[in-house]
Amino acid sequence: MPVAELIDRYMADYAGRDPTRTQRLGWWRAQLGTLTLAEVCDDHVHAALEALKRQPARRYAGRDAEGRAIYKAKKRDIAPATLNRYRAAISAVFTWAVRCRIAPKGWIHPCQGVQTLPENNARVRFLKPDEIERLLQACRAAKWDRLYLLVLMALTTGARRGELEGLRWQDIDAARAVAHVARSKNGDAKTLALTTPVLEELARFRGAPSALVFASPRRPGQVFGFDQAWKAALKAAGIRNYRMHDNRHTAASMLAMNGASLLEVAEVLGHRSLAMSRRYSHLAASHKQALVTRVMGHVR
């Protein structure tokens, strides 16, 4: 079976919600598509990743009139984390082929001989209280009337961009003050706790149960492309070096600095393990100090 056909069959069976999976496997289809599954080996995977490493990084820039994703080149090189995600995408296809008995008997998984690259995940950018106030004020004044709601939810729930974009009105339970995410990036169901200001803002836009909360006015079946509105708000607020994803870091930092344990931070953000939440451990120092003093302060 050609790898191109294998990728098509895998995607037809794919039930995940990773928005990058289609794009990355489309790239692999162009690299390995004409090879048969029996022919492809770790050398092919390694060579493709080496070629990818030399290409400039790209960023998501919204969608065109037909709904296709648009990507623009960045000035920096592709990060090791991105290369690892490409490797993981094709590795999942090959693993699926083995599980479905499509791969030949005794076939060696082509990604076993290609090591993942060390990643530098030390970057944690979060907003200070005055920056949060300036950003929300700029979002209130944005031309897109739902930018304030989107950013407020991102800051107070710690939800990922894709989780918020996928919300429909039927997922909002105002009575219980929660929003239900059927499948998060990790593949798990997730519940977002909603604050009173978020509920009040949601009430202003309530739509049909099946409609997207952040739908495009022109194409209701698609999410509104808010990147330009987001960048304009950042500029108006005087905030630099800050991404939409960093709202998760800000949410976690607010929790950690106000007494939440790392387990509680992990629960809110949807981390499967505490490893991802440990990057905020230094922010919980005062909480840790208070805990030790309360429990063991009498020991002499």
Within 10 angstroms of residue 208's Cβ, the number of other Cβ atoms is: 11
Residue 273 Ramachandran class (φ > 0 left, ψ -120 to 50 alpha, else beta): beta
190 has a pLDDT exceeding 70: yes
The arithmetic mean of pLDDT across residues 121-150, rounded, is 89
| CA 140 – CA 150 distance, rounded (Å) | 11
Cα–Cα distance between 72 and 162 in angstroms, integer?
Answer: 19
Q: Helix, strand, or coil here: 273?
A: coil
- Kindly report the average pLDDT of the chain as a whole number: 85
Amino acid at 43: D
User: What angle, 0 to 180 degrees and rounded to 10, lies between the N-to-C axes of helices 21-32 and 3-13?
Assistant: 160
| Residue 180, both tokens | 């239900």
For position 279, what pLDDT does the model report?
60
Contacts of 133 (CB under 8 A, 6+ apart): none
Q: What is the pLDDT of residue 268?
A: 78
254-285 residue pLDDT tens: 887 777 776 777 777 776 665 555 565 556 56
* Three state DSSP letters for 55-100: CEEEEEEEECCCCCEEEEEEEEECCHHHHHHHHHHHHHHHHHHHHC
Q: What is the mean pLDDT of residues 7-21?
A: 86
Which residues make Cβ contacts (< 8 Å) with residue 195, sequence separation at least 6? 156, 177
What sign results for the dihedral spanned by CA atoms 229, 165, 125, 156? positive
What global pTM score does this model have? 0.61
What would the mean pLDDT of 218-242 be, rounded to a whole number? Answer: 92
Quick check: 144 pLDDT over 80?
Answer: yes
pLDDT at residue 265, as a whole number: 73
pLDDT-derived band at 195 (thresholds 50, 70, 90) equals very high
Three-state secondary-structure class, residue 23: helix
What was the pLDDT predicted at 121? 56
Check pLDDT > 90 for residue 149.
yes
CA-based torsion, 175, 177, 181, 187: positive or negative: negative
Q: Quickly state the pLDDT bin for 168 (edges 50, 70, 90).
A: very high
* DSSP of 127-181: --HHHHHHHHHHHHTSSSTTHHHHHHHHHHH---HHHHHT-BGGGEETTTTEEEE
What's the pLDDT at 74?
60
Among 249, 256, 262, 254, CA closest to 284? 256
To the question of domain 129-295 being in CATH 1.10.443.10, the answer is yes
Which of 21-30, 35-44, 167-176, 183-192 bottoms out in mean pLDDT, i.e. has the lowest?
A: 183-192
| Burial (CB count within 10 angstroms: exposed 0-12, middle 13-18, buried 19+), residue 10 | buried
Better-predicted residue by pLDDT, 258 or 298? 258
Cβ atoms within 10 Å, residue 109: 16
pLDDT, mean of residues 1-20: 88
C-alpha atoms less than 13 angstroms from C-alpha of 101 in its C-beta half-sphere: 0
Examine the pLDDT at 113 and tell me if it is beyond 60: yes
d(CA 166, CA 138): 24
The stretch 144-162 carries a mean pLDDT of: 93
Q: In terms of DSSP bridges, do strands 56-63 and 172-173 run parallel, antiparallel, or are they unpaired?
A: unpaired
Q: Taking residues 114-123, what's their average pLDDT?
A: 74
Is 300 a residue whose pLDDT tops 80? no
